[in-house]
Amino acid sequence: MSLKIIENFDSSFTLEPEAKETLFTLLKAEAFREQIAEQAKSTQVEFTELLFQPVPYSTTTPKGMPAEFEPYYESPEHAIINVPPNFMFKAKIFKPSRLCAIYRKIG
Model pLDDT for residues 1-54, shown as the tens digit of each residue: 665 555 555 557 789 999 999 999 999 999 999 999 999 999 999 999 999 999
Condensed to tens digits (0 to 9), the pLDDT of residues 54-75 reads: 988 877 888 889 989 999 999 9
Higher pLDDT, 105 or 10: 105
The total number of structural domains in the chain stands at 1
Task: Report which of 2, 97, 3 is spatially closest to residue 55, judged by C-alpha positions.
Answer: 97
| Model pLDDT, residue 7 | 55
Q: Is residue 6 part of a domain?
A: no
- What pTM, to 2 d.p., does this model score? 0.86
Distance set, CA 79 to CA 4, 36, 90 (Å): 30, 8, 23
Q: Is residue 3 part of a domain?
A: no
Range of the domain at 52: 17-106
Q: Is residue 35 part of a domain?
A: yes
